[in-house]
Amino acid sequence: MKDKFILIGLTICILLAVGVHANTVGTGQGILGLQILNCYSNNDCNDGNHLTLDICNNPGTYESICEFIPDTTPPEAIIKYNQTKKDFDVVGIDDRKGNVMVTCKNSLLSMFSAKKQRTCLLSDESGNTLRIDMKYSSLRDSQTISIINLQYNGNDTAVRDNLFAVADGQRLISQELNVRGKFNIVANYNKETNKTGIILFENGNYTRYTKNGLVLVQLNTDKGDLGYGRWMSLLFPQDKTFK
């Protein structure tokens, strides 16, 4: 009998150690119910599916439960110049680190104009979409785009006036990215010296910097807004800023 009590005591200790809770179900019924702790953090809910957001609700309690939220966030875009193609590339990025398919097509705006409309559709693996409507022109060594509309999952978003222009000549690659009321970037790459001179005007301040090699300016979409990418801000030391 003593051994039996010892065995029962050890069993209860083991159950408590692994997160099993004993409780009485129903007043006076004396029925033992066992409840396993589901999760302590979001990592415990990882189902290996990058198309869902894995959440641990009430972590570390006996009411903890894993929730798997479907991905409803549209992809975003990075637009930058491709020196080999002498044209702009559109790359899709997804917050769940999934693949994004990008398809672009051109159509004439007018028979008497060099400008075209370029429409790019970005689709992630969950079926979320971003449609980008741009005015596009190409003349000799110069290419220009202007985003006129962004559409996230079928919902149109008005954008600030903007212009992204590149001139790829024999000696220089000149890039200018302007988003009205927000910032202006000018980058000139000298093919002979292999250096890029960059000027950023933002918040009433000019920032100048010179970097070895070709620096490609990039235009980023961000929930309906337009930016130049967090990575580029790392190029501009604070002591280079002046009014």
With a threshold of 0.85, does the pTM exceed it?
no
Identify how many contiguous H helices and E strands the chain contains and give both numbers.
2, 19
Round to whole Å and give the CA distance between 235 and 237.
6
Q: Return the pLDDT at 8.
A: 46
State both tokens at 97.
């680190």
Mean pLDDT by 10 residues, the chain (243 residues): 50 44 33 61 88 90 90 94 93 87 86 78 95 92 95 95 96 96 95 95 90 93 87 50 29
Round to whole Å and give the CA distance between 202 and 36.
55
Cα dist from 238 to 33, 185, 208, whole Å: 62, 16, 10
Q: What value, to the nearest 5°, has the Cα angle with vertex 168 and ends 165 and 169?
A: 135
Instruction: Centre a 10 Å sphere on the Cβ of residue 237 and count the other Cβ atoms it contains.
Output: 9
Q: Which residues pair with 185 in a beta bridge?
A: 177, 200
72-109, pLDDT tens digit by residue? 999 999 999 999 999 999 999 998 778 999 999 998 76
Q: Return the pLDDT at 92.
A: 95
Q: Return the pLDDT at 30.
A: 35
Q: Return the pLDDT at 1.
A: 53
What's phi and psi for 28, nearest 5 deg? 75, 5
Cα dist from 232 to 2, 193, 220, whole Å: 73, 21, 11
Is residue 189 within 8 Å of 171, Cβ to Cβ?
no
